[in-house]
Structure 1
Amino acid sequence: MLGADRQAGRGRARPADPPHAPRLDRGRGLMSFQHDETGVDESMWRDAFAARREALPELDAAWLAGIAHLVVVAAHPDDETLGAAGLLSRAYRAGVRSSVIVATSGEASHPDSSTHTPEELGRLREEECLAAVAEVDPGAAVTFLRLPDGHLDESMRRAELGEAIVQLLLSSAPDTRSVVVSPWVGDRHPDHAAAAGAAQEAAGRARAEGREVEVLATPIWLWFWAEPGDARVPWTRMRILPLDADAVAAKGAALARHVSQVQPLSGLPGDEVLLHPGMIAHFERDFEAFVGEEPDAPDDDGADDELARYFETLHADADDPWGFETRWYEQRKRAVLLASLPARDYASVLEVGCSTGVLTLDLAARVRHGGSVLGVDLSAHAVERAQARLSAHPEATAERMRVPDEWPDGRFDLVVISEIGYYLDPAELTAVVERVLGSLTDDGAVVLCHWRHPVEGRSETGDSVHAAVRARPEFGTVAQHLEEDFVLDVFERAPVQSVARREGIV
């Protein structure tokens, strides 16, 4: 549950955090948890669940009996206990095969400890995890990936976790149903969000191989930092698993096994208890709460679209899932993109894959008087946030659209395509380029900007996407920026002139 520097999750700008919530480091977008902070009192959640209990769907015995394989994904040792020990207990008694994947060893939970090195703490927490799982499901297979604590959101780490989940899902027979339980993407912990994304992507890959997979997420930090009335609480997708007395007792015994978290490591500073009684109270309920997948976004053709489902879930559960507003990496990348535009201003701008409209707003500042900028995105939730962000700028708007099947009318003198190319197969990428060529003015520019590291579940990379577009004879390269993490290309119709030549400097 706890990771590097005791920091949990990415912050959001709205609604405001309650006064008793952990402090939010706006510069890093992380919530800094201190051992002596109490968080939201469990009595508030108890009353909220009591008021809503009849309306919340229940995961009943029939649902449990239909599971052939339960896969529980933990970002750190104790996530599996806090979020799903009751489920593991009930699954064991129902004869369900269970597997637990622990991504990191939680070695960074006490960064200031003078009595335990990270290596010692990691070994200790793995032993505690094994003992805890044995309390609720002695037959469960537990796998430790030993990825670095606090770094699951790095693409290579997330890819390794996703691959491990996929292999477990594919080990089940095609005609059976598997359930994957991961931390909740909206928990405001970067490792939790990364684990949730890896689980969702892995489920998509397994479904493509003919497996039936259900994905559930378990909030952990939510109970600590949010009040029940917070708009970020996913009540509409909450599902309840009742726990009988045996499951409650087994979960309590499992939680007690995580000694390094529920007791101080020592009496010295840096060794304080991390899961204090107020936090533990959230996990002593006679039920567990899980968040179901976001329903498919409504398409005109009603198609069941796995990619659309992924992006809808991502944006429904987090205001800023990519860290556009908080990460210096993203802020700097936008600055590089804007500085690379060959013209001072533009008449008509199209941004493909606008997400929540952060770059769209910056592009609006480069639109001349009377001009316009349109952002399009596959996610209805993202478009809704982009529209809110752009509401004070009449020259800017956002629409939900799936490219290349859909494309806006009109001509554009600037088209920006950022971080979506590797989600397209080669035929779709070709179709997008054709769409761009058909709507680009004679003097228009096209900007591509993409992550260069591997993307889980995608055969294309940023480099391959840019190489494919760069090879088109219709385009010439005006500018290129290349570094370890991202590549940026600016194209115009061939032949091209540099900015200095068009201004008569050379």
Structure 2
Amino acid sequence: MVTFDPLVTETSLAEWEAAERWADVPVADATWLAGFDAVTVLAAHPDDETLGVGGLLALCAGMGLPVDVVVATVDSPGRADELSTALERLGLDAAPASLGRGDGRLKHESDDLRRGLEAAIPGDGGARRLVLAPWPGDRHGDHRTLGREAAAVCGMRGHTLRFYPIWLWQWGTPDDLPWGRVSQVASTPEARRRKRAALAAFTSQLHSPHNPSGVLSAEFVERAAEGREVLIEPQRDPAREHFERLHRDSADPWSVRTRWYERRKRAMTVAALPSERYGRALEIGCSNGELSAALAERCDALVGVDAAASAVTLAAERAAALPNVRVHRMRVPDEWPSGDFDLVVVSEVAYYLAADQWEATVQRIVRSLRPGGHLLLCHWTGWADDFAQSGRQAHEHVATRSGLERIVEHVENDFRLEVFA
């Protein structure tokens, strides 16, 4: 939900326009847009697309560039009608699609949201598609979740993604804008006229004495109509780059092959498995494949996944002589292997997933487990600066939220090893 007062302005339009750094910001104009065959604009709520990139959409309409509009949430037929009117005023003739998710609940419905996006955003088969989505830094839970899931889908399909801010202009300051990844839309008088007319269509959201529940103040709407529109390039994933470097620089970055602590922990991990033999198993975060090789002795088939390409290369080399092991580059929970499993192993990985990402991962694990299947968790109990959560927190989440039963528990000063059924 919104964690700020939508009617309180932190930075005025004049203050935004006075920022000196605009002179260095590149321009996204008709020439840039002509490099795409189609555009898909994603909105968390009806009016986001108009507030954020209404002028850009009017430019696309004037160029004849096809535009699809996908709205994640619609809380009333009236707002859907307002959206249709606004899009007509922008010059767009495509009917907006709705994913039917709950307003303010996207972070709790991320799996359904992602499936909806996968169905709504065409694969294109080589066509050049530009996808526009709310900026995840917009301090609105729905914007943050939709932006993140859009990035996952676009990353898998190779689409160009740009974020657009909305509430940044209201609550933020120029220091909040990631200037190095920003471009500004080259507007025209006609595009501004169309955008202003489109904004007027959202009567249920416009704050006034007659509509005190409206969240769009007159000042905010004026800024949207007359102020700049910007696009923000997605930030490269620093965590993935970190692990890419680690595995590129060393075939054994954590000395799991040589340190007694790691070798003992690996032996205990395999020994803790309750079943003598498993059919199909999944290892999340296989790193250099050392644990994969040990698990392969107890499984008919093992799928290892890791987000770092360099790790996947190392794991594939380690498993080259093991015909029952397959390794794939995959980032969970946004990506997930097909099929179900008798065993899922998560070792030294959960710390790097934020709470909502870990929750989504656990949900996917539970749905992937066959009846009688096991989930094994093993994590260091210490803390590091790059952790999003502790190993203890990750294990406790599974114990209290997954619905699985803990059947093995081994705790030492340095690590925790548990099996859930």
Return the TM-score normalized by structure 2.
0.64
What residue identity is the alignment partner of 1:282? R
Q: 1:244 aligns with which of 185, 188, 195?
A: 188
Mapped to 2, the partners of 1:94 and 1:42 lie a distance apart of 29
- Measure, in 1, the Cα distance between the counterparts of 2:5 and 2:115: 30
Alignment root-mean-square deviation, CA: 4.1
Distance 1:104 1:150, change over 3 A: same
Does 2:154 align with 1:195?
A: no
Deviation, structure 1 residue 264:
3.8
Q: Does 1:92 align with 2:92?
A: no
Which secondary structure does the structure 2 equivalent of 1:73 belong to?
strand
Partner of 1:484: 401
Runs of 5+ unmatched residues, structure 1: 1-6, 9-30, 108-121, 208-212, 296-310, 313-376, 384-398, 417-424, 439-445, 473-478, 500-506
447 and 426 in structure 1: CA distance in 2 versus 1, 3 angstrom threshold:
closer
User: Partner amino acid for 1:147?
Assistant: R
Letter in 1 for 2:290: E
Map of 1:175 onto structure 2: 126
Q: Please state whether the residue corresponding to 1:63 is helix, strand or coil.
A: helix
With 161-170 and 283-292 compared, the bigger mean Cα shift is at 161-170
Does the Cα contact within 8 Å between 1:447 and 1:488 map onto a contact in 2? no
Residues of 1 paired with 2:81 and 2:251: CA distance? 52
The structural deviation recorded for 1:145 is 1.9
Match of 1:102 in 2: 71
Q: 1:87-486 maps to which residues of 2 (within 5 A)?
A: 87-105=56-74, 107=75, 122-154=76-108, 157-170=109-122, 172=124, 174-207=125-158, 213-228=159-174, 230=175, 232-264=176-208, 266=210, 271-285=212-226, 287-295=228-236, 311-312=237-238, 377-378=239-240, 401=246, 407-409=253-255, 410=259, 412=261, 426=282, 429=285, 434-435=290-291, 464=369, 470=376, 482-485=399-402
**Structure 2 gaps, min length 5:** 267-280, 295-346, 379-394
Q: Which amino acid in 2 is paired with 1:166?
A: E
Alignment size in residue pairs: 318
Call closer, same or farther: CA 1:412–1:433 in 2, change over 3 Å. farther
Question: CA offset at residue 225 of structure 1?
Answer: 1.5
CA distance in 2, matches of 1:488, 1:378: 32
Q: Report sequence identity in percent.
A: 24
**How far apart, in 1, do the equivalents of 2:58 and 2:400 lie?**
49
Q: Which amino acid aligns with 2:10?
A: G
CA shift, 1:159, in A, is 2.7
> 2-side partners of 1:128 and 1:85: how far apart?
14
* Counterpart AA for 2:5: F
Q: Residues 160 and 469 of structure 1: is their aligned pair in 2 closer, same or farther, counting only changes over 3 Å?
A: closer
Paired letter, 1:97: P
Corresponding position of 1:18: none
**Structure 1 residues 402 and 63: CA distance shift in structure 2, 3 A:** same
Residue in structure 2 matched with residue 369 of structure 1 by the alignment: none
Cα offset for 1:261?
A: 1.2
Deviations 1:185-240 (A, max 9, x none): 11111000011011111112323xxxxx1000001111112211x2x321110011
Q: Give the conservation status (yes or no) of the 8 Å contact 1:39–1:224.
A: yes
Deviations 1:420-463 (A, max 9, x none): xxxxx94765556735999xxxxxxx77769786559x976686
Question: Secondary structure of the equivalent of 1:262?
Answer: coil
> Contact 1:180/1:215 (CA < 8 Å) preserved in 2?
yes
**1:77 — aligned with what?**
46
Structure 2 CA distance for aligned equivalents of residues 254 and 453 of structure 1? 39
Q: Over residues 57-97 of structure 1, what are the superposed CA-to-partner deviations in whole Å (9 max), with x where a residue is unaligned?
A: 21122211121111100001110110111111111111111
